[in-house]
Structure 1
Amino acid sequence: MAQEYIALKDNNKIGVIALNKSAFQTIAKNVIEEDERLKLAESNAPFKYAITCKIVNDQLLLSADVKVNYNANVNQVCVDVQGKIFENIEHMTGYTPDMIDIRVVGFIF
């Protein structure tokens, strides 16, 4: 069965803090929705979400399907949103993501 959370390494001896993968998905979703140059891609298939998060061997692997504005520089938009997602996850959770994959599946006209 797939792991659903990441246990953070904390210095105290009281307990363990664990974050569910939905917390990372929500942070990524908020970052993408703030950027007006792109939006999350919709899917016609049931149970297919635009943002997927996997935790393998305590490594966070996050991927997002987006549509980019037709007159925007696609490479720069992807680099910007990758950096913002990385910074927000690191700042809000204290965990450093291992992979953030931005997949452009279409354009906004």
Structure 2
Amino acid sequence: MSSYHTEVQNLNYNAANRSFEALVVFHEGGETRKVPISAPLPITTEFEHVATVLVARAKARRAKGTARLTARAPALKEGKLLHLDNLVRQFKDAMGLSDIPNAA
């Protein structure tokens, strides 16, 4: 069964634009997707309302396919990225270091 939850990170208020800006993170099964988003709201808006608006805007952007600046990463498993060993192997191959054993 896959898990799904959403969180708002790096919430800031941009006074020049009079808007809240944040990174909405979607945790979906084995992946994490990050969508930068903003919402023109007064600075006095309650956090719960700001978060609701930001998440709704991020979901709408993803549904329309206009979330071009999204970042995608595999989920963490036991504190390590699932693909870390593969990345190390690719790096060593690219640098010609395939014969060097892994560090202990």
Give the TM-score normalised by structure 1. Answer: 0.28
Structure with larger Rg: 2
Task: Give the structure, 1 or 2, with the largest relative contact order (CA under 8 Å, sep 6 or more).
Answer: 1
